[in-house]
Amino acid sequence: MMKKHSIKISNATRYYPGAAKPAIDDISLDIAPGEFMTFLGPSGSGKTTLLSIIAGFVGLNAGSVEIDGQDITNLKPHKRDLGVVFQQYALFPHMTVFQNIAYPLRQRGVSRAEIETRVKRVLDLVQLGDFAHRLPRQLSGGQQQRVALARAVVYEPRALLLDEPLGALDKRLRDRLQLEIARMHRELGMTFVFVTHDQEEALTLSDRIAVFNNGKIMQVGTPTELYRSPNSLFVAKFLGESNIMEGSSRGTNVIVRPEHIHLKMPTSKLGENELSKAARITEISFAGAHLKVGLAFSGGETGLSLITAGNPLQLQRGEEVLAVWSRANQHTVMNDDQVAAASKS
């Protein structure tokens, strides 16, 4: 188990040359020692820029980065002692797997015997023990990326920064490597900062997720917190499907997750803490254990209900129903611009 390190970003702002608005707009974030932190957000929202700021590849116009309380804002990348893995594997093509992984150790003047031990250990960690003498071109994409992971952790950096490391892989391989990355994080106990635009990947892997939009972090929280209590429409939409309705006060919206919407006959009586809206069924589709029921609410919004398969009500497309949910399962959120404005401190 390695020593665990914290990363602190304070009021970070970065303009790319000539840009009218910042790629990173006054972001502050604390990453705890040993935490698996994911930056999640749409393309262009600033995830890679913030990761590159931590790595030292991109500078800041304002703000600071600290590791364990030490200010590293002006430290050169190679002095930061951070492991980095990008989407493209960037292995040395003429070196074997062993030589690739040994490279950062050789550069640091580690002894031959120690190199032998450490490379073996990380090869086992990424389950490539039998591939030490192959060249990168003799490996699959997934295997190459495992070599890149091994090379990034072999010198025991203070944290591992991963920028869409699974982005170039097909879905099946992606799922497998996700599990391997989760296992590596558990076994190493190291701080991981992981960039993705794939919400499922973020929910599977992360201790906490920072949701990016337009150079700002909209919300930071555990997967459960973000899913159950999103603070904005943006976060609600980005993490799964929701029913979104206008709230009772101005500038607010009410959201309810599809699994919390029950369907009843239009004349049904409501319980004390139940709320409802009239709706017409636009679609019914089978999704394994659930039926997915598409809805058109009376107010014009579209919605979705997930009900356990079996269809006891014999629902039909075109039918008028009552969409019902309990008060405890609805969340009132502010509009996105109000949340973004409030996040500035």
Strands 290-297 and 302-308: antiparallel
Which tokens hold the place of 283?
């679609």
Nearer Cβ to ligand ATP (35/163): 163
Please say whether the dihedral angle defined by the alpha carbons of residues 209, 237, 229 and 13, taken in this order, is positive or negative. positive
Q: Which amino acid is at 325?
A: W
**How far apart are CB 213 and ligand ATP at their closest, in Å?**
9
Strands 252-256 and 330-334: antiparallel
* x-marked contacts with ligand ATP along 39-68 as a string, rule CB under 6 A: --x-xxxxxxx-------------------
* 262-264 β-sheet, strand order: 262-264, 320-326, 274-287, 290-297, 302-308
**How far apart are CB 75 and ligand ATP at their closest, in Å?**
20
Nearer Cβ to ligand ATP (157/215): 215
Binding residue count for ligand ATP, defined by CB under 6 A: 13
Nearer Cβ to ligand ATP (49/191): 49
Nearer Cβ to ligand ATP (197/216): 197
Residues 6+ apart with CB under 8 A from 289: 308, 309
Q: What is the DSSP string of 254-308?
A: EEE-GGG-EEE-TTPPPPTTEEEEEEEEEEEEEETTEEEEEEEETTS-EEEEEEE
**How far apart are CB 57 and ligand ATP at their closest, in Å?**
10
Residue from 11, 16, 94, 170 that binds ligand ATP (CB under 6 A)? 16
- Site for ligand ATP contains 23 (CB under 6 A): yes
With CB under 6 A as the contact rule, which of the stretches 36-44, 118-126, 137-145, 291-299 interacts with ligand ATP? 36-44
Q: What is the distance between the alpha carbons of residues 44 and 202, in angstroms, rounded to a whole number?
A: 17
**How far apart are CB 87 and ligand ATP at their closest, in Å?**
9
* 243-246 β-sheet, strand order: 243-246, 252-256, 330-334
* x-marked contacts with ligand ATP along 182-221 as a string, rule CB under 6 A: ---------------x--------------x---------
**How far apart are CB 43 and ligand ATP at their closest, in Å?**
3
Quick one: which of 219, 298, 222, 229 has its CA closest to 260? 229
Nearer Cβ to ligand ATP (33/44): 44
Residue linked to tokens 């039909």: 316
Q: What is the distance between the alpha carbons of residues 74 and 55, in angstroms, rounded to a whole number?
A: 11
- Site for ligand ATP contains 167 (CB under 6 A): no
**How far apart are CB 74 and ligand ATP at their closest, in Å?**
20
Work out the widest C-alpha separation in the chain, in whole angstroms: 79
With CB under 6 A as the contact rule, which of the stretches 37-45, 110-118, 219-227, 281-289 interacts with ligand ATP? 37-45
**How far apart are CB 23 and ligand ATP at their closest, in Å?**
3
**How far apart are CB 239 and ligand ATP at their closest, in Å?**
16
Q: Which residues bind ligand ATP (CB under 6 A)?
A: 16, 19, 23, 41, 43-49, 197, 212
